[in-house]
Amino acid sequence: MGLLKRLRKKQESQGPWCAAVVPAAGSSRRMEGQDKILLPLDDVPVLVHTLQALSASERIREIVVVTREDLIVPVGQLCRDCGLDKVTKVLVGGATRADSVLAGVEEVSARAELIAVHDGARPLVTVEVIDEAIRKAAECGAAAPAVPVKDTIKRAVDGVVVETPDRAQLFAIQTPQVFDSDLLLGALHKAVEDGAAITDDCGAVERIGMKVCLTAGSYENIKITTPADMLVAEAILHSRDT
């Protein structure tokens, strides 16, 4: 079999063309003055761990990073220095997470069948979690990893509990959140135009009536949000080394 045929067969075996969009343009307000995206985790910046994990998935053909204006140059240099060849663009983000994600989706939507949106602040995701979400999204159009919540969750108003939802029906949703490319582009445009207060990308497609399928997440796929998360992340990394 000729080289071209082998390459095409390999590409077909990897399934639909999936691009990753990595929102990394936040302000790290909950990090007590540290910028979490470039914080060293075992001497490697958080964002580099994230991009290495995404690059390890054969299903992800391309990665677009969306970051703050002041980080465009250093992030681009980091990608080159670390050999992150799947990163094709580093774009400027927006005021909200949805704005930032939309900037990345607009960049790749014309050439990607599926788009995996993964937080730059989730450096410990594994290829297994990534590939299962992509596989499921190829099947149902929208999928995201989740884990059952461990604590009992209360809904409260003005400091008074008003509801205790059934814990069996509660899941902490993670990323990568993976979608049909056209679906996500349209849903995000509408959410941003409507000024919808969505905190994840599933929220954008849910609000237009799309069902989102859950896949297996991992309690190790944490989001770096507060300083304590860095301690947990270091411990998880060291446990993997051993």
Ligand X SMILES: C[C@](O)(CO)[C@H](O)COP(=O)(O)O
- List residues near ligand CTP by CB under 6 A: 23-30, 37, 66, 93-97, 100, 119-121, 223, 225
How is 102-115 classified by DSSP, letter by letter? Answer: HHHHHHHTTT-SEE
Which run of H or of E encompasses 173?
strand 171-173
User: How many angstroms separate the CA atoms of 35 and 18, rounded?
Assistant: 29
| 36 touching ligand X, by CB under 6 A | no
- Cα–Cα distance measured from residue 137 to residue 127, given in angstroms and rounded to the nearest whole number: 15
**DSSP code of residue 187:** H
Residues 82-121, interacting with ligand X (CB under 6 A): 97, 119
> Any idea what DSSP says for residue 34?
-
141 binds, among ligand X, ligand CTP, none (CB under 5 to 8 A by kind): none
Report the residue number, 68 or 135, with the smaller CB distance to ligand CTP.
Answer: 68
**Is 209 exposed, middle or buried (CB count within 10 Å of its CB: 0-12, 13-18, 19+)?**
exposed
Cβ at position 119, least distance to ligand CTP in Å = 4
CB of 30 to ligand X, least distance (A): 8
Q: 55 contacts which partner out of ligand CTP, ligand X, none, CB within 5 to 8 A by kind?
A: none
Which of these ranges, 64-72, 147-155, 172-180, 204-212, lies near ligand X under the rule CB under 6 A? 172-180
CB of 157 to ligand X, least distance (A): 21
CA distances 7 to 2, 12, 63, Å, are 9, 9, 20
Question: By CB under 6 A, is residue 27 in contact with ligand X?
Answer: no
**Nearest CA among 129, 84, 101, 113 for reference residue 24:** 101
Q: Which does 96 bind (CB under 5 to 8 A by kind): ligand CTP, ligand X, none?
A: ligand CTP
Three-class SS state of 197 = coil
Instruction: Judge whether 40 and 81 are in contact, CB under 8 Å.
Output: no
The CB-of-236 to ligand X minimum distance in angstroms stands at 17
**For ligand CTP, which residue has the nearest CB?**
26
Task: Return the residue nearest ligand X (CB atom).
Answer: 200
* Binding test (CB under 6 A) with ligand X, winner from 200, 212, 221, 224: 200
Interface with ligand X by CB under 6 A: which residues? 97, 119, 173-175, 199-200, 223
